[in-house]
């Protein structure tokens, strides 16, 4: 409660400062804040920007959902005020971007989410059980049919069809792909060398689509297909999604609780950059394809007005904004992470 009161208090002071600086409506166009990046948190960010603009009319935030790779590229080139990514910048990417823009770049964790395996199986409306090994071999082209013995073994009593699996994957530089491949590299010994862990990899089977939106649309249209997307995209499109086998050997349903459990299991592993991989985290009731998602923000914005607005927005997002996370299928930040993140946000100028 004390932490929430502190965040809310700072948030209200930030709004007051921004409002006082814009009473005459001047510099509105120069204060438009532009961002780009991950599709994973796009539904939530859209809600946040809309709700915050009702509170602070000086806040005009434009966000382009182009994938994590695009978000990192644009913040690196200094063409946006913030980027968004599910895969942290590499040390090389961050050093290069900071040198070019003469400013440190902060990773600001915003929420946690789940990547799910969604599928279109006519006549089957129950959650399937899938292990990491099975999913890896589907995407490596080794398991080709829905009634393969490895799938049947984990789904006793389910009448799976003798049909080819239509594999769908992301074609753009994608944080969702990074999370997915990061999990598979931990769950299947051959994956890391055969396919790799990256925002963009060359899959051995299937067809590509752009963005979480594109993969969702393809799975919805193609019978006997499977694809990986952020949970909210499956929920909004009423698509089935699988229970995934975790490190403890349980088949776990992706949910707010099981994603939160994954985050809590790795709290002591978060680095100074506020980044951590929580895929395949140990423990019971842990959903294994979980991840933080991040905003990439300059410590020193070239436009002080933009820095002030962005700072006040981020403080709001840590406090009142978190209530919208649950409504859209994301897990709010753990309290200890919110506290560390607030300390970083206060350095923005």
Q: How confident is the model over 67-98, as pLDDT tens digits?
A: 999 999 999 999 999 999 999 999 999 999 99
7 pLDDT more than 80: no
Q: Report which secondary-structure segment, H or E, holds 327.
A: helix 323-327
pLDDT in tens, 285-308: 999 999 999 999 999 988 999 999
Residues 234 and 303 reside in one and the same domain: no
Residue where the block lists tokens 């792909």:
177
Domain boundary, last residue among 236, 269, 302: 269
Kindly state whether residue 21 falls inside one of the protein's structural domains: yes
* Final residue in a domain of this structure, among 269, 300, 322: 269
233: nearest Cα among 103, 82, 44, 33: 44
Cα–Cα distance measured from residue 252 to residue 202, given in angstroms and rounded to the nearest whole number: 28
Is the pLDDT at 113 greater than 80? The verdict is yes
- Residue 102: pLDDT over 90: yes
Res 8: pLDDT: 43
Indicate whether 102 and 176 sit together in one domain. no
Q: Given this model, what pLDDT does residue 31 score?
A: 76
| Spatial CA neighbour of 197 closest among 119, 284, 90, 108 | 90
Asked if residue 199 has pLDDT above 70, the reply is: yes
Q: Mean pLDDT throughout 215-233?
A: 97
Q: Is residue 264 part of a domain?
A: yes
pLDDT at residue 220 is higher than 50: yes
**Helix, strand or coil for residue 199?**
coil
Same domain, 147 and 228: yes
pLDDT for 30: 53
Structure tokens at 337: 């992470």
Domain extent for 163: 114-269
Report the C-alpha gap between 154 and 94 in whole angstroms. 42
Q: Would you state the pLDDT for residue 293?
A: 98
Q: How far is CA 277 from CA 33, 97, 123, 242, 259, in A?
A: 29, 22, 36, 21, 13
Tokens of 341: 């993140």
Query: Is 281 a domain residue?
Result: no
Q: Is residue 287 part of a domain?
A: no
The C-alpha atoms of residue 199 and residue 177 are separated, in whole angstroms, by 5
Residues 91 and 122 placed together within one structural domain of the fold: no
At residue 331 the predicted structure's pLDDT band, cuts being 50, 70 and 90, is very high
Whether residues 106 and 195 fall in one domain: no
Which pLDDT band holds residue 20 (cuts at 50, 70, 90)? very low
The span from the CA of 347 to the CA of 37, in Å, is 23
Proportion of the chain above pLDDT 90, given as a percent: 89
Mean pLDDT value across the chain:
92
Is residue 257 situated within a structural domain?
yes
Judgement on whether residues 129 and 258 belong to the same structural domain of the protein: yes
Q: Is residue 282 part of a domain?
A: no
Q: Give yes or no: residues 214 and 319 share one domain.
A: no
Q: Do 47 and 37 have their domain in common?
A: yes
Instruction: Assign residue 234 the CATH number of its domain.
Output: 3.40.190.10
Asked if pLDDT for residue 344 goes beyond 50, the answer is yes
- Predicted confidence (pLDDT) per residue in 134-174, tens digit: 999 999 999 999 999 999 999 999 999 999 999 999 999 99
In a domain, 275, yes or no: no
Give the residue among 104, 33, 93 at the shortest CA–CA distance from 314. Answer: 33
Of the three residues 217, 236, 269, the one that is the final residue of a domain is: 269
pTM of the model: 0.90
Residues 256 and 231 in one domain: yes
**Count of the separate structural domains present in the chain:** 2
* 196 shares its domain with 225: yes
């Amino acid at each position: 409660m004390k932490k929430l009161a502190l965040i809310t208090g700072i948030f209200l002071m930030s709004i007051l400062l921004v409002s006082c600086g814009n009473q005459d409506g001047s510099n509105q166009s120069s204060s438009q804040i532009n961002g780009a990046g991950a599709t994973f948190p796009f539904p939530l960010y859209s809600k946040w920007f809309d709700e915050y603009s009702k509170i602070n009319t000086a806040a005009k935030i434009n966000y382009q959902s182009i994938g994590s790779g695009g978000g990192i590229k644009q913040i690196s080139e200094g063409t946006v005020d913030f980027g968004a990514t599910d895969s942290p910048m590499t040390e090389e990417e961050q050093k290069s971007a900071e040198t070019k823009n003469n400013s440190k770049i902060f990773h600001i964790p915003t929420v946690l989410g789940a990547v799910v395996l969604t599928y279109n199986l006519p006549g089957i409306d129950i959650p399937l059980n899938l292990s990491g090994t099975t999913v890896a071999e589907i995407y490596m082209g080794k398991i080709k049919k829905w009634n393969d013995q490895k799938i049947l073994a984990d789904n006793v009593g389910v009448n799976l069809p003798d049909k080819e699996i239509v594999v769908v994957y992301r074609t753009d530089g994608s944080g969702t792909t990074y999370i997915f491949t990061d999990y598979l590299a931990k769950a299947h010994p051959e994956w890391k060398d055969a396919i790799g862990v990256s925002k963009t990899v060359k899959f051995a089977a299937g067809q590509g689509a752009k963005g979480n939106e594109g993969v969702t649309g393809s799975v919805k249209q193609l019978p006997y297909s499977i694809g990986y997307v952020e949970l909210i995209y499956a929920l909004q499109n009423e698509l089935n999604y699988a229970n995934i086998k975790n490190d403890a050997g349980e088949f776990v349903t992706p949910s707010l609780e099981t994603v939160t459990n994954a985050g809590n299991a790795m709290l002591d592993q978060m680095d100074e950059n506020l980044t951590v991989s929580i895929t395949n985290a140990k423990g019971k009731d842990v959903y294994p394809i979980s991840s933080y998602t991040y905003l990439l923000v300059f410590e020193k914005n070239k436009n002080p007005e933009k820095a002030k607005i962005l700072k006040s927005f981020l403080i709001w997002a840590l406090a009142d904004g978190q209530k919208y996370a649950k409504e859209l299928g994301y897990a709010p930040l753990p309290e200890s992470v919110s506290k560390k993140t607030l300390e970083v946000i206060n350095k923005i100028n």
